[in-house]
Amino acid sequence: MKYPLVSIITINYNHSDVTCALLDSLQRITYPNIEIIVVDNASPNDDPAVIKNSFPHITLIREKENLGFAGGNNVGARIATGDYVLFINNDTEVEPGFLEPLVAKCESDKQIGGVSPKIRFYSRPDTIQFTGFTPINPYTIRSRGLGFGEKDRGQYEKDVITPFVHGAAMLIPMEVIRKVGLMAECYFLYYEELDWGSRITQAGYQLWYVHNSLVMHKESISTGKLSPFKTYYINRARLLYLRRNVAGFRFLIALMFQMFISIPKNLAGFLFKGEFGHLKAYGRAILWHLKNLQINEIHAHPVL
């Protein structure tokens, strides 16, 4: 096969040791033509210099402020020189031969706008996290991961089209990024790759799950699995996705569903359980939208 240059981009935030574990696994891959870009998102409790000292061949960019998932990855994409860009979470580790199938899939058809590998949980290496997604419900603004939580018994050993690739590991042709633009930075965290996937498919491309590529994911090291921090950003992002991607009559129905069913149910659930940190975070997420009803920046599409 041909080996076009792949720019590998990962974000570091307060976990240089975790990032170094990813880079160590990338040193053992068999794909021969890569560049690696690490963007440190202004880690307040970490010295990312250890990354460059341990892996001098990589490019380390140290930002002065935390730009979030999309913003940090966009910084890396703007200096990337590859034919393809692999956006990969720093809390992953890769199999030696994981990259060849992803590149080969993209090379096989120029209508492919992005691919993701099979993702399994690092802490439960026989358990699936990702083999594709269902479409997002335009009213609930929720999707379901195919295979999520299942033991991997070989039941997903076939490439399939998926509405979205997975933000933990996604290979996007640079040509597609030039045409569609970069990830929307208004999200900061969560839903940005789903928003991007919607824009990529609307531009006429296909997204694929590639069965014979494997990445192991340590999951939520930076944000915490059930933290109020996550509660705020994921619920803020869900409504951002609604505002950016649903229109017309569907938008009105979705808005009513959120206002009269989803939001009251979630607020009552946090209150009933005594989870006041989550209750406050959820309320802040709703309040952000009420304060920013007219803001035009939420519809921006950053470019290279």
Under 8 Å between Cβ of 55 and 20: yes
First to last CA, the chain: 28
CB 205 within 8 A of CB 114: yes
Report pLDDT digits (tens) over 27-43.
Answer: 999 999 999 999 999 99
Domain ranges of the chain: 6-217, 228-299
Q: What is the pLDDT of residue 220?
A: 58
- pTM, two decimals, is 0.95
CA distance 198 to 274: 37
* Dihedral pair phi/psi, residue 254, rounded to 5°: -65, -40
For the segment(s) 6-217, the CATH number from 3.40.640.10, 3.30.70.360, 3.90.550.10, 3.40.50.2300 is 3.90.550.10
Residues of the chain below pLDDT 50: 222
Q: Please count the other Cβ atoms lying within 10 Å of the Cβ belonging to residue 263.
A: 17
pLDDT at position 106:
98
CB 90 within 8 A of CB 20: no
pLDDT tens per residue, range 196-222: 999 999 999 999 999 999 999 998 554
pLDDT of residue 225: 66
Long-range contacts of 159-162 (CB under 8 A, 24+ apart): 159/105, 159/208, 159/209, 159/210, 159/211, 160/131, 160/132, 160/208, 160/209, 161/206, 161/207, 161/208, 161/209, 162/116, 162/132, 162/133, 162/207, 162/208, 162/209
Q: Give me 277's structure tokens.
A: 């940190």
